[in-house]
Amino acid sequence: MAGLLRRLSEELSSRGLIQHTTSRALIPHLNSPLTTPRTIYLGIDPSAPSLHLGNLLPLFTLFHLAHAGHRCIALVGGATGSIGDPSGRSTERSALAQSELNRNVDGITHQLSDFFAKTSSWAAHNLPPLPQSSDTHNQQQWDDVQTLLKRKETLAAIKVGNGSVFVVNNRPFYKEMNILDFLTDVGRLVRIGDMLARDSVKRRIQPTPTNPDPPGLSFTEFSYQLLQAYDFSLLHSSPWNCTVQLGGSDQLGNIMAGIELIRRKHSPEKEAEASPAYGLTVPLLTTSSGAKFGKSAGNAVWLDPEMTSDLDLYQYFLRNVTDADVSSLLSKLTLLPPEARSPSPATPRAAQTILASHLTSLLRGEQALDRAIQASSILYPSSTSTSSSLPTLTRTQIEHTFKNLPHLKRLPRQEVIGKEVWKLIADVGLVSSRAEGRRTLVNGGVYLNSVGVGKAEVGRCVEEGDLLGKEEGGAGAGFVTVQSGKSSHAVILVD
């Protein structure tokens, strides 16, 4: 078992997935996942309809813990999401209607189940076999799963390697509790001084040279840490017996509030008999310059394909991730072993290609990756491309490749053939007006089928010979690609 411990702790550490531990006893506590599995929980804020890239780092950490044999909980805040965690925020969140919150919980529950099912499947097919526990232990685990699945707060359970992940909603924790119960059970055990000392509180109420007039904090937000602490204390008791809370590094104060509440719930003479409670934090997902990934930062990449397309997901990692960031992201956001994360430095953006391919395949599936690669070859060809070097795709293949993507446009033949290219880019919305389209062409920013249309070609019109992807018997049917600037593209199906 010591070998498994070394592999687990070294795996988390080498991937950069450990920021803080609240006690040196935590790693020994996680010592024997096959014989003494622990329960670890991660809170998920349902303040948006989808998880985003910033959620992936703690989710991958939870995967590694479950895969080794621990029982893990992804706790969706069906109750606390109506308030919103103030950690890491400079302003108060907008209140969510209950109907919107319920939709968010449903969507995120599906995403969590999908994430752990896909990562577990990938690991089973691509990673070395895990050490196996005894049949007796396996039967006990299965019995536990069946018991916990019957609880009203449990939404789903997913087998992950030697362990499991439960998706749980915290709304039932509070459904029968009134304010007097909460103040009696929780409020009397918490000290205001401790609450005021949390960084998430101090940043909102204490003036600083750079923020002399802080926005303040509502009582609702101030109380959030009590609710998160109560979640931990409730999960710490039977039948969950949760002893570890996992979270981002900005959650350390809230995690400590839970540990302190658990300790104070036990009288001093019985404290030694109580199960321990620990915290483990992971770094926030940031760029090398310190910029934070996530919806609060305004640059969210969503797991929901309706909010971030397969193509945009693939292209984000391929084109936007810098050489300074890619090695860290390959370690933190993939399941690839070290040898698969180190491509030849002679190949430009090879590491970004590995990252983009692995994550798109893992999160969206192989077919989504194939479509994203195909679409990328059309929209972002090499600088030496000509129209004849574009992929020899048929119109039907183009429709499949760009299905549900905003880049795909349809126009009747008479609105394409014979029209100036600068007018066409305006008609499909790549620029705001035809005047802007003409200026863009004059400045060298317009392309037809990946070939630049220069200032001297201001009268260049789309011709019959420009149509690509004609199918047998489909006279006049086909497509053209147009581009304005570096990032605005359209694929136009000509009917």
pLDDT digits (tens, 9 = 90+) for 408-436: 999 999 999 999 999 999 999 999 999 99
Q: In angstroms, what CA-CA distances link 250 with 66, 198, 253?
A: 23, 10, 7
> Which pLDDT band, with edges at 50, 70 and 90, does 268 fall under?
low
Lowest pLDDT segment from 23-37, 233-247, 359-373, 375-389: 375-389
Whether residues 65 and 199 fall in one domain: yes
Mean pLDDT of 45-67: 95
- Residue that terminates a domain, selected from 342, 362, 380: 380
Q: Does any domain span residue 292?
A: no
In a domain, 289, yes or no: no
- Last residue in a domain, options 380, 413, 431: 380
CB 308 within 8 A of CB 301: yes
**120, part of any domain:** yes
For the ranges 144-153, 320-329, 343-352, 382-391, the lowest mean pLDDT is seen at: 382-391
**Has residue 440 been placed in a domain?**
yes
**Range of the structural domain that residue 210 is part of:** 2-282
**Same domain flag for 59 and 112:** yes
* Mean pLDDT, rounded, for 216-226: 88
Residue 404 shares a structural domain with residue 366: no
Query: Is 405 in the same domain as 372?
Result: no
Q: What percent of the chain has pLDDT over 90?
A: 55
What digits encode the pLDDT tens for the residues 140-187? 666 777 788 888 899 999 999 999 999 999 999 999 899 999 999 899
The reply to whether 98 and 167 lie within a common domain is yes
The rounded distance, in Å, linking the Cα atoms of 62 and 14 is 15
Residue 467 lies in a domain: yes
Question: pLDDT band at residue 384, thresholds of 50, 70 and 90?
Answer: very low
Residue 198: DSSP 8-state: S
Residues 369, 332 share a domain: yes
CATH number at residue 226: 3.40.50.620
Q: pLDDT tens digit string along 431-456?
A: 999 999 999 999 999 999 989 998 89
Give the pLDDT confidence of 273-285 residue by residue, as tens digits: 667 899 999 999 8
Give the Cα separation of 333 and 20 in Å (integer): 19
Would you say 172 and 178 are in contact if contact means Cβ atoms under 8 Å apart? no
- Cα 23 to Cα 32, 225, 244, 288, 407: the distances in Å are 17, 20, 11, 28, 51
Number of domain units in the chain: 3
Is 254 inside a domain boundary? yes
Q: DSSP letters along 391-427, please?
A: ----HHHHHHHTTT-TTEEEE-GGGTTT-BHHHHHHH
**CATH number, domain with residue 464:** 3.10.290.10
pLDDT at 240 over 90: yes
CATH of the domain at 316: 1.10.240.10
pTM score of the predicted model: 0.87
Those residues whose C-beta lies under 8 Å from the C-beta of residue 195, and which sit 6 or more positions away, are 201, 222, 225, 226, 257
Query: Residue 475: its pLDDT value, please?
Result: 52
User: Which pLDDT score is estimated for 392?
Assistant: 67
* Domain assignment present for 291: no
12 part of a folded domain: yes
